[in-house]
Amino acid sequence: MPTFRAIRIDKADKGSQASYVDFDDSELMDGDVTVRVSHSTVNYKDGLAITGASPVVRRFPMIPGIDFAGTVETSDSPAFKAGDAVVLTGFGVGEQHMGGFAQKARVKSSWLVPLPTGLTATQAMAIGTAGFTAQLALLALEKHGAKPADGPLIVTGAAGGVGSIAVALAKKAGWHVIASTGRPEEGDYLKKIGAAEIIARQELSEAGRPLGKERWAAGIDSVGSHTLANVLAQTKYRGAIAACGLAQGMDLPASVAPFILRGVSLLGIDSVQCPMPERHEAWQRLARDLDKDLLASMTRHVPFANTIDIAHDILAGKVRGRVVVDVEQK
């Protein structure tokens, strides 16, 4: 396959432009492993990259796609051999290094994780960075000492990719899950995947008081801004919130009150440069704990040719759950 299909982002007079192109092997970046990509997925960051809504792409031209799963085609690394099934999330792929929205990728072997036993490539991409991040958040809360007996756990942006898997994982772990969403029509969906209660996004998305009524012991927030500030203000004494997203904004218009008066902890979750031991732990937990039928119910499958459209939809809040891109299906 000297040439292969890919999405390429080029610098334009105003921002950037994404298009489907025939890409040549020689144009790929340095790496010791070449992977034949079978599946990818569309995360919120992919939407930002393709639409140019935020300058997440660091070099041009760029193949976006921060996740992929596939089979090793060639390897100069002793860690992998041709035919190995692998998964990649993060490490600046799709931002600084050409990514997964292509039929081939050449990357560093130190970025790859063997496809976990019990997961197919399709399931791994139904999880993707979104589900991986949700699992990292839950692990961080557990290591902090948070437990279901302490009280409810809130998930913001609950109908999105991170939120949907966070709801399912938290329910599996025994939490009473409160799901916050701006899409009331998704109520039945959220209850099906594990939410015990649903609250409207508007309860948290506007400027609030420094401290509010104590409502939850823990939380996973993918929204940021006023939403995160209000979640912190309503967290129980010595509770903890894992922050992993910025759908509402990068700002945090909060006070120190929750931290110094209630001993609340804010745990930052980074899935991009996450060390490999934690990656393996998270993927093993996902393979073990995430109900595969439930995962299928929150996932839609699209051909490669629909990827750019989905990227626009995800920023417009039109995507529920997860989207798997069949890279081999044009």
- The pLDDT tens digits of the residues spanning 249-271 come to 999 999 999 999 999 999 999 99
Q: Examine residue 312 and state whether it is found in any structural domain, yes or no.
A: yes
Per-state percent for the chain, helix, strand, coil, to nearest 5 = 35, 30, 35
Task: Residue 196: count other Cβ atoms within 10 Å of its Cβ.
Answer: 15
Q: What is the mean pLDDT of residues 173-202?
A: 96
Judgement on whether residues 11 and 49 belong to the same structural domain of the protein: yes
Residue 12 binned pLDDT confidence (cut-offs 50, 70, 90): confident
Question: Does residue 1 carry a pLDDT above 60?
Answer: no
Judgement on whether residues 137 and 250 belong to the same structural domain of the protein: yes
Cα 64–chain centre separation? 15
pLDDT in tens, 213-222: 999 999 999 9
- Whole-angstrom Cα distance, residue 265 to residue 203? 21
Q: Examine residue 214 and state whether it is found in any structural domain, yes or no.
A: yes
Question: How much is the pLDDT for 284?
Answer: 97
Judgement on whether residues 138 and 251 belong to the same structural domain of the protein: yes
Question: How much is the pLDDT for 329?
Answer: 80
- Domain around 199: 129-268
Judgement on whether residues 87 and 209 belong to the same structural domain of the protein: no
CATH assignment of the domain containing 231: 3.40.50.720
Judgement on whether residues 134 and 70 belong to the same structural domain of the protein: no
Q: Are 325 and 40 in contact (CB under 8 A)?
A: yes
- Whole-angstrom Cα distance, residue 42 to residue 23? 20
Q: What is the mean pLDDT of residues 66-77?
A: 98
Cα 186–chain centre separation? 19
Q: Examine residue 283 and state whether it is found in any structural domain, yes or no.
A: no
In angstroms, the first-to-last Cα distance of the chain is 15
Judgement on whether residues 182 and 260 belong to the same structural domain of the protein: yes
Q: What is the mean pLDDT of residues 303-330?
A: 93
Return the ∠ at Cα 307 (arms to 306 and 309), rounded to 5°: 70
pLDDT in tens, 74-103: 999 999 999 999 999 999 999 999 999 999
Summary mean pLDDT of the chain: 96
Beta strands 153-155 and 322-326, pairing class: unpaired
Q: Which of 118, 161, 136, 122 is nearest to 40 (CA)?
A: 122
CATH assignment of the domain containing 88: 3.90.180.10
Beta strands 177-181 and 153-155, pairing class: parallel
Judgement on whether residues 208 and 178 belong to the same structural domain of the protein: yes
pLDDT in tens, 16-29: 899 999 999 999 99
Question: How much is the pLDDT for 166?
Answer: 98
Question: How much is the pLDDT for 297?
Answer: 94
Judgement on whether residues 134 and 107 belong to the same structural domain of the protein: no
Judgement on whether residues 62 and 162 belong to the same structural domain of the protein: no
Q: What is the mean pLDDT of residues 300-321?
A: 95
Question: How much is the pLDDT for 15?
Answer: 79
